[in-house]
């Protein structure tokens, strides 16, 4: 496959960035990141600076491979991270535009790598269970309904990649935050701190400079784990209930 890449290059958050155009020959069996590896090998052989991009497990479970490809977070395939996106999703002769996440809360470190530590700070604000719940019980002894358990598990599949933020026209982190609130708050162990958790995480989200949710649904559409925006509605109910002192937020 002969491809034309338009790749964003930027030295740091303060520097002015620009697109660079490169020609790459790739196999349809390569992953997108492997194709970028080929580009970097070429640049290094030409004694040029390689393109900086984030990656880790390359198995679709860590959320590190945050790229906007042809205007879409993680690329054209639904429910797929960049590292699991293969070049057979493109055609010979295609022009591919590659950019970093675009959000005020995600400053550019260099080229395609952004600082997503703001998501970590939201987790640190309340995404945990600190109360002593005693010795672990057998799973069958804990009275959790199948529907509730499934809903909590679905929310827990969020990998914190930030695609929801990149896709949102407001740069909102509501889908991420709501998934973290839901997967803990729905379970008995997390109910004790539910009110404090939702307030702390929402307040931290606002402090980090994320935008407000306007229910466009772009976050759900681009999420590689297909987290439902119903979690956002749940977060709003829990937050209002915690502020008003009600116990009916879930």
Residue 73 near residue 163 (C-beta atoms within 8 A): yes
Distance CA 6, CA 171 (A): 24
Question: Which range (5-14, 87-96, 181-190, 219-228) has the least confidence?
Answer: 181-190
pLDDT digits (tens, 9 = 90+) for 129-187: 787 766 766 666 677 888 888 999 999 999 999 999 999 999 999 999 999 999 988 88
| Res 204: pLDDT | 96
How many residues in the chain?
250
Question: Which range (44-53, 120-129, 171-180, 206-215) has the least confidence?
Answer: 120-129
Q: Tell me, what DSSP letter sits at residue 69?
A: E
Q: Which residues contact 107 (CB under 8 A, 6 or more apart)?
A: 13, 114, 115
pLDDT digits (tens, 9 = 90+) for 67-87: 999 999 999 999 999 999 999
- The correct answer on CATH 3.40.50.620 for the domain covering 2-110 is no
| Res 248: pLDDT | 47
Domain boundaries, the chain: 2-110, 117-244
Q: Domain 117-244 maps to which CATH number in 1.10.1060.10, 1.10.1740.110, 3.30.565.10, 3.40.50.300?
A: 1.10.1060.10
Backbone angles phi, psi at 57, to 5 degrees: -70, -30
Question: Which range (130-134, 215-219, 245-249) has the least confidence?
Answer: 245-249
Distance CA 243, CA 227 (A): 26
| Res 127: pLDDT | 84
Percentage of residues in the chain with pLDDT exceeding 70? 95
| Res 143: pLDDT | 78
pTM for this model (two decimals):
0.90
């Amino acid at each position: 496959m002969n491809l034309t890449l338009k790749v964003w290059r930027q030295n740091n958050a303060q520097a002015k960035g620009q697109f660079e155009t490169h020609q790459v020959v790739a196999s349809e069996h390569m992953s997108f990141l492997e194709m970028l590896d080929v580009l970097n090998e070429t640049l290094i052989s030409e004694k040029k600076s390689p393109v900086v991009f984030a990656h880790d497990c390359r198995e679709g479970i860590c959320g590190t491979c945050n790229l906007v490809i042809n205007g879409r977070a993680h690329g054209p395939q639904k429910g797929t991270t960049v590292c699991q996106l293969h070049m057979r999703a493109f055609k010979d002769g295609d022009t591919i535009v590659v950019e970093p996440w675009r959000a005020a809360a995600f400053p550019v470190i260099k080229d395609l790598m952004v600082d997503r530590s703001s998501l970590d700070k939201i987790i640190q604000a309340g995404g945990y269970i600190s109360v002593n719940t005693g010795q672990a019980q057998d799973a069958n002894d804990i009275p959790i309904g199948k529907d509730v358990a499934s809903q909590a598990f679905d929310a827990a599949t969020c990998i914190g990649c930030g695609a929801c933020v990149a896709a949102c026209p407001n740069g909102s982190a509501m889908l991420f935050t709501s998934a973290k609130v839901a997967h803990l708050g729905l379970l008995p162990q997390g109910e004790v701190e539910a009110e404090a958790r939702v307030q702390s995480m929402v307040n931290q989200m606002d402090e980090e400079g994320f935008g407000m949710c306007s229910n466009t649904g772009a976050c759900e559409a681009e999420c590689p784990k297909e987290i439902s925006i119903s979690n956002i509605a749940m977060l709003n109910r829990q937050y209002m209930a915690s502020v008003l002192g009600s116990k009916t937020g879930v």
